[in-house]
Structures are given as structure tokens and as C-alpha cells.
Structure 1
Amino acid sequence: MALRNALLAALIDRESSGYDLAKEFSVSVANFWTATPQQLYRELEKMQAEGLLSARVVKQERRPDKRLFSVTAAGRAALGEFTRREPKSTTVRDELLVQVEALAYADVGCVQSSIRSRIESSSQRLAAYERSLADILGDRTDDEFLATGSRIGPYLTLHRGISFERENIAWGRRALDILARRYPDSAGG
């Protein structure tokens, strides 16, 4: 999937500055797509040049002017075309799992430390996704939101991100438990 499709999806309901879009990516869209701010800005420029986005300049006091991007008709058509394609399957590429796979030749304490770090970062992302979901729901229950809410896509992607991070935490705790039993004298145990 190209970054442009993730940007089109993030901009489909409202205009946004590159800065605000980068913040949003780090909180909500990051559960299924990551990009650096520099990548975002480069892609926004290309998409505007290709007619997928339009931009308007907003003057600001005591700050540089900002550009607000919005999806054009061509951008909506491109996003529609993307949604009609069969998505490519996802392959896990995870350095931590390579470390675990090579455990026979690794420093067990270092691998345990890496797993603890993963649990911590997954816990932080989980909390952020849960806050985003609470913001989307407002004071509605899940059932009320599903009957009347307009942002079903973000609701569903946040649930996927929440499930993913919960699984990372559960796997990490299980892995630490197994390693502590298998290597009781390891420095990280």
C-alpha cells in the first residue's frame, strides 16, 4: 500500500495541515501505517502536484502561514479505485522475533530486555488507541455509535490496533515467563 492511500483516507472527511496530519498519524493511523513527518510532507507535495489534493494557505499571527490540504475529486476517485482492489497480504517483519528466533546464540538477558521494551511500547500505544476510541465514541456506547456514528472506518481500525497491541503484550508476558523458567539464572530474568 502506498503512503498516498493512507493520506487520502486520513483526509477524506476533513482538511488538515501537514503538521496536524503528522500528529494524527502518530496517534490513530499509526496502528496500521507509519511514516515520518518528512515522508508525509513529501507525499503531500507530490499528491498536490498530481491533483489528488488541493491546498489553501491560512495566514497566522506570530507563526508561519500554514497550508490546509483536502482531497479533490481525483483524490476521491483514486481512493475509491484503491478500495476496489484486493489488498496484498501482510507479512510480519519484526526484528524482535529474529532475536527470539536466534535465542540459542543470543544473550538471553538482552532478549528479555527487548521483550520488556516491546511490552512497554505496546502498552503505551494501547493506551493511546483506547483514548482515541473513547474520543470517537464520546458518551455513546458501542451499539449506539454503530447505529448512528459517521466514523466507522477509524472505529474499526482502532479496534484492530487495540487487538494487535493486546496480543503483543500477552505474547511478551508469555515469552518472559517461558524464558524465566527456561533460563532462571539469566541476568534479565
Structure 2
Amino acid sequence: MNIGMLLEAATSEVVVMSSLSCDRHDPISSARLAQHVRPGVRYRVLVPDWARVMPVLGALTLADAIVRTVPHVPSDALVVDRHTVLVPADQARLAVFQLPAVVTTTLELFEQIWPRAVPLFTSDLPDSAELTVRQREILTLLWEGHTDESAAARLEISVRTVRRSVAEIMSRLGARSRFQAGAKAADRGWLLADAS
């Protein structure tokens, strides 16, 4: 089955999980998707965090695909119109499935990961995902090296409030550590220029 023809025939949605670790000929690679994104078909693309610097992801976003990243993408798959699933058979070929059980299982895996994934650009975040000024102050102080206790004292709030805010921020960013949360927040421009 020709992947280009399948993507051109899509009428409602294309869902992509790509570890970007396959051979350069891998047709699931997001590098081949940008040319197929078109109005009326929603594209959701999930790739690893390390790929955030790849220009092709920006091109996908400019083409109106929704791109998110996670630390680890567990499987490579492409689902077209919730009807057809393509997975790598080897480095050069795809296996195509239209069995409802395979489609449902693949989509369930994607939908479990998608809410925890971090949008490529801040503009892709819903308003509710934006940090409050207080959360930005806390995150900035911690990024500058302050302890929970010194950040709490500086902002005249409780240590418990600091810790709760950090936990919320880490969850929102899908970060596994405070350092990763700070790096992701810095990448999105969420840190304040001066928290003093």
C-alpha cells in the first residue's frame, strides 16, 4: 500500500507515533508527513523530546499539524481515519492492518500518552495549561538554584505551597525531574527575567 495515497485519501484524522529511530526510508517518519497535511484533516504527531530541535517538526506545525513530545515513544504507528494502521515490518516495508482490534489497541495507546505529552510550541497549549505568575516566580527561583525553603521565604508563602506548585508544573510539562521541568519551562519562555 502506498502511504502517500493513503494519506491523500484521509478524510478526518491522521494519528502518528514516531520514535524517529527507524531507517531514513521509514515512511512513518514525520519528515514525510508535512507534504500531506491539508485543511479538514486533523494531524496529531507524537515524537520524542530530543526531536524538538528538528526543523521538520516546525514545518508540520506551520502546516497545522499538532505536534507533541514525550521522553519516550513506545511504538511507531500511523493510523488513518481510525480505520487503517500502518506499522514498520522492517526498515523498508510497512505492515498494514484494518482489523478493529489492532486499530483500537493502537489508538488507545496513543490516547493514553497524548494528554501527558508537551506541545511543541506554547501556542498549542490550552489557556488552562499556562502557568500563573506565582508559579512562574517559584519555577524561576528554583531554576536559579534556590531551595524550596528559600523560595518560600522570598515569596512569603509556605514550603508546602512551593512543593505543591512544583508538582503541578512537573505534571503539566510531563517532566520527570525538577531540572527537566526547568529546562522545558525555559524552552517555552515560562521563566521570568527577574524573580527578585
Q: Which has the larger radius of gyration?
A: 1
**TM-score (ref. length: structure 1):** 0.26
Structure with higher RCO (Cα < 8 A, 6+ apart)? 1
Task: Give the TM-score of the pair, scaled to structure 2.
Answer: 0.26
More helix by share: 1
